[in-house]
């Protein structure tokens, strides 16, 4: 791995992490719910973006540094499996089994649907 790849991945991560924080807080401020809608919004939008980037790369051969910055760096720092897992576990620990199951199901369905949509959109742009 080259130093250039490490630099662009780090730069993408530096942009993705604060973006995740801001989106999560913006959604949380607008939705009063025990469900972690901010994390769901972040993960679904990040998966859509990653799918779009991969679709665009397949159709237009985006450069490896652009993909490293945007896909691995930005999307990797923007999306968050760990937060999703902890929030789902907290719901279950609190006895909110239905909400935990809903969060789990919605996160998986929304993530896969967003990836499929992004790939399809990237292929036609």
* pLDDT score, position 1: 80
pLDDT digits (tens, 9 = 90+) for 27-47: 999 999 999 999 999 999 999
Model pTM score: 0.94
* pLDDT score, position 6: 97
* pLDDT score, position 39: 98
Residue 40 belongs to what domain range?
3-124
Kindly tell me if the per-residue pLDDT of 16 is higher than 90: yes
What tokens were used for 124? Answer: 């036609």
Kindly tell me if the per-residue pLDDT of 123 is higher than 90: yes
As for how many domains the chain has, the answer is 1
pLDDT digits (tens, 9 = 90+) for 51-110: 999 999 999 988 999 999 999 999 999 999 999 999 999 999 999 999 999 999 999 999
Could you tell me which residues come within 8 angstroms of residue 38 by beta carbon, excluding any fewer than 6 positions away?
23, 24, 25, 26, 27, 28, 31
Could you tell me which residues come within 8 angstroms of residue 74 by beta carbon, excluding any fewer than 6 positions away?
12, 13, 15, 16, 19, 49
């Amino acid at each position: 791995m080259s130093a250039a790849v490490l630099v662009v991945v780090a730069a993408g991560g530096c942009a993705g992490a604060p973006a995740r924080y801001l989106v999560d807080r913006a959604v949380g401020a607008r939705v009063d719910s025990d469900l972690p809608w901010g994390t769901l919004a972040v993960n679904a939008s990040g998966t859509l973006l990653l799918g779009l980037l991969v679709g665009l790369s397949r159709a237009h051969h985006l450069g490896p540094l652009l993909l490293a910055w945007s896909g691995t760096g930005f999307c990797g720092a923007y999306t968050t499996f760990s937060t999703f897992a902890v929030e789902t576990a907290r719901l279950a620990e609190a006895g909110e089994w239905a909400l935990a199951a809903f969060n789990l199901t919605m996160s998986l369905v929304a993530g896969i649907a967003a990836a499929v949509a992004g790939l399809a959109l990237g292929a036609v742009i």
